[in-house]
Amino acid sequence: MKAPAEVKTERQGNSMRTKKEKNYIIAVASFGDYRAGVVREIRLILGTSLTVYAGAPAYESSIRLLDYKAAGVIQLVNRYFGHNFLFQSISFMPMIRADNIIMDLNPRIPHVWLITIIRRFLGKPTVLWGHAWPRSGPNSITEPIRALLRKLATGLVTYTESQAESLRARHPGKRITVAPNALYSRGQMSFNSESHRFRILFVGRLVKEKKIGILIDAFEQIGGSDPRIVLTIVGDGPENAMLRDKAAQSQYHDRVELLGYVSDFEQLRPIYAESIVSVSPGCVGLSVTQSLAFGVPMLISKDEDHGPEIESAISGFNCGFFETDNPGALAKGLLAFVRHPENWQKRGSGIAMDCARRYSVERMAQGLQAALVGD
């Protein structure tokens, strides 16, 4: 529990008046380690006025969590009941008393409903942060439940401007801010124009919905086109053993490498510096903005249940698309990158600069700050 807020004194004429420091809270289900930069930035902005809570374990076992202690985050215990509900070991009173609070926009977390309703009754602002719609979209049968939760909140934070505009149409007058999903600071994003590039790259969780097996199948079709090209897979997850077996059976097994889990920026930078293109053979998430941050274009499956980060992808500028679940189409798309890498590498700096402008941790943290404090 956070220590009582400091009381500051200010001299005004011949009198002294006291000013109580504001007390803000961010309390979420969990923070993956990819949130390290954003947590650090928002804590720098708001200082001791902000307390951050997050739970463990994560909903998905393949998600690596942030080192909460090192990040100054108070850890909560998560208990999941099937795929339906999450209960956390929260302290209600600090969250009720806070001047403003950000929680998950997730109807499956009971305390989010309770705290939002109590704070509404007390006239206190409450902001909910997350995806605008259920996973199956705005026409989902569960959308009315999510819409009710959105209506109870005084403010909302979305991941994209298009989601924000859609919600503004549905909830006129409600304060809605955007915190674009980001991994890196502006200063970290750049393109290495001098490096030798020979990798086709996948970075992400090794789970079924990412469809990495299709990428290995596509590489099997193009591996003979250039013996210098290497397929590099970075990540870990339940599909790891299957993918290693599949790679071992490839005729180009000596050019298919699985590097395991790598998240450190300095370790990833040389891998991206050697990459011609990154690939999302299944649904895309933060991996697209990660790739663009290094100036590396991405080849993306067309018809997937993509995350909101897909809005960063601009066909012909920083990405290409291929027919979903079609290894042949993916192979053809890869050849276009491998045979004419100069067409994309000359755009590398522009790709990284565009990503820095739209998807930096500074911009994400500023969106969260605006939701808590106001403009």
Does some domain include residue 86? Answer: yes
Is 288 found in the same domain as 193? yes
Helix axes 212-222, 327-339, angle to 10 degrees: 60
Is 50 found in the same domain as 19? yes
Helix axes 361-373, 36-46, angle to 10 degrees: 50
* pLDDT value at residue 322: 98
Does some domain include residue 1? Answer: no
With residues binned 3-state (H G I as helix, E B as strand, rest as coil), the percentages for the chain, rounded to 5, are 40, 20, 35
pLDDT, one tens digit per residue, over 107-151 is: 999 999 999 999 999 999 999 999 988 877 788 898 999 999 999
pLDDT surpassing 70 at residue 18: no
* pLDDT band at 82; cut points 50, 70, 90: confident
Is 23 found in the same domain as 116? yes
* pLDDT value at residue 19: 56
pLDDT surpassing 60 at residue 9: no
Please provide the average confidence, as pLDDT, over all residues in the chain. 93
Look at residues 158, 162, 163 and name the one whose alpha carbon lies nearest to residue 179. Answer: 158
Q: Which residue has the tokens 């504001």?
A: 22
* pLDDT value at residue 1: 41
* pLDDT band at 358; cut points 50, 70, 90: very high
Is 150 found in the same domain as 22? yes
Q: How far is CA 31 from CA 44, 67, 75, in A?
A: 17, 9, 10
User: Average pLDDT of 74-79?
Assistant: 96
Say if CB 211 and CB 325 are below 8 A apart. yes
pLDDT, one tens digit per residue, over 273-302 is: 999 999 999 999 999 999 999 999 999 999
Is 192 found in the same domain as 122? no
Does some domain include residue 2? Answer: no
Is 212 found in the same domain as 298? yes
Is 22 found in the same domain as 166? yes
Is 195 found in the same domain as 323? yes
Is 198 found in the same domain as 126? no
Does some domain include residue 43? Answer: yes
pLDDT surpassing 80 at residue 36: yes
* pLDDT band at 375; cut points 50, 70, 90: low
Q: How far apart are CA 176 and CA 35, in angstroms?
A: 21
Run of H or E residues at 18:
strand 15-20
What is the number of domains present in the chain? 2
Does some domain include residue 27? Answer: yes
User: Average pLDDT of 67-86?
Assistant: 93
Is 354 found in the same domain as 366? no
* pLDDT band at 20; cut points 50, 70, 90: confident
pTM of the model: 0.90
Domain extent, residue 163, equals 7-182+360-373
In terms of Cβ atoms closer than 10 Å to its own Cβ (0-12, 13-18, 19+), residue 243 is buried
Q: How far apart are CA 331 and CA 335, in angstroms?
A: 6
Is 237 found in the same domain as 132? no
Exposure string of 287-314, with b = 16+ CB inside 10 Å and e = fewer, is bbbbbbbbbbbbbbbeebebbbbbbbbe
* pLDDT value at residue 374: 82
Is 105 found in the same domain as 39? yes
* pLDDT value at residue 14: 41
User: Average pLDDT of 76-82?
Assistant: 92
- Percentage of residues of the chain with pLDDT beyond 70: 94
Pairing of strands 7-12, 15-20: antiparallel
Does some domain include residue 53? Answer: yes
Look at residues 259, 255, 271 and name the one whose alpha carbon lies nearest to residue 219. Answer: 255
Q: How far apart are CA 14 and CA 155, in angstroms?
A: 40
CATH number for position 262: 3.40.50.2000
* pLDDT value at residue 255: 98
pLDDT, one tens digit per residue, over 197-228 is: 999 999 999 999 999 999 999 999 999 999 99
| Beta strand extents in 137-228 (DSSP E only) | 155-158, 175-178, 199-203
Q: How far is CA 138 from CA 33, 53, 105, 128, in A?
A: 29, 29, 14, 17
User: Average pLDDT of 343-359?
Assistant: 96
What is the torsional sign of CA 236, 238, 241, 243? Answer: negative
Q: How far apart are CA 257 and CA 253, in angstroms?
A: 8
